[in-house]
Amino acid sequence: MYNEDLLKKLISDFGEVQAMLFCRMESAKNAYLFEECVKNGEDNSCTQYDFERDWWHEAYNKLSNSKNS
């Protein structure tokens, strides 16, 4: 399941507020993994974490902006 599909399912099952929390937590999790990966010198395998970190952070921003509109 791709991130976009997963996010839609989370919103459907838990609502936007809970999905926003998940987005923040998933982004943070991937930030932690990215930092650890870089620290351990595994630079070539770290890109998956920064992509996921940024994707979930952007998803949070979009949900947050739609809630505030």
Rounded distance between C-alpha atoms, residue 46 and residue 38, angstroms: 7
Residue-wise pLDDT tens digits, 32-41: 999 999 999 8
Rounded distance between C-alpha atoms, residue 35 and residue 58, angstroms: 19
pTM for the whole structure: 0.89
| pLDDT, the chain, mean | 94
Rounded distance between C-alpha atoms, residue 42 and residue 36, angstroms: 9
